[in-house]
């Protein structure tokens, strides 16, 4: 019966920690960024999709408009983007960013 009680306590700890971030000494915290584009162009650097980078990483963003379109700006929840009005800029990762979108106008 005592072993059963210990298993329940361990299970409760595991369930309770399911949403926690555990930092292992020597490991690097990583953040996720979702990069996409609106109609009229693409993000050529680093590309489009979900990416993971170490905390503090500076990534280059490059948006390329299609013929007949021009870059309009970056729409983002990112705190540290160098220039939202420039098609070539940088983004510093200091948390998860759920959207970094290159927009274009015709």
* CATH for 57: 2.60.40
Q: Judge whether 70 lies within some domain.
A: yes
Structure confidence by residue, pLDDT tens digits, 30-89: 999 999 999 999 999 999 999 999 999 999 999 999 999 999 999 998 878 899 999 999
Range of the domain at 91: 26-105
DSSP 49: E
Report residue 8: phi and psi, to 5°: -65, -40
**Residues 39, 47: Cα–Cα separation, whole Å:** 15
Q: How many other CB atoms are there within 10 angstroms of residue 29's CB atom?
A: 12
Q: Judge whether 40 lies within some domain.
A: yes
How many domains does the chain contain in total?
1
């Amino acid at each position: 019966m005592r072993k059963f009680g210990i298993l329940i306590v361990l299970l409760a700890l595991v369930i309770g920690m399911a949403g926690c971030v555990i930092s292992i000494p020597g490991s690097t915290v990583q953040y996720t960024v979702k990069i996409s584009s609106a109609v009229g162009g693409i993000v050529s650097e680093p590309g489009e999709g979900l990416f993971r980078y170490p905390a503090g990483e500076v990534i280059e963003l490059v948006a390329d408009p299609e013929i007949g379109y021009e870059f309009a700006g970056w729409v983002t929840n990112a705190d540290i983007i160098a220039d939202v009005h420039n098609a070539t800029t940088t983004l510093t990762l200091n948390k998860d960013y759920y959207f970094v979108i290159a927009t274009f106008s015709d």
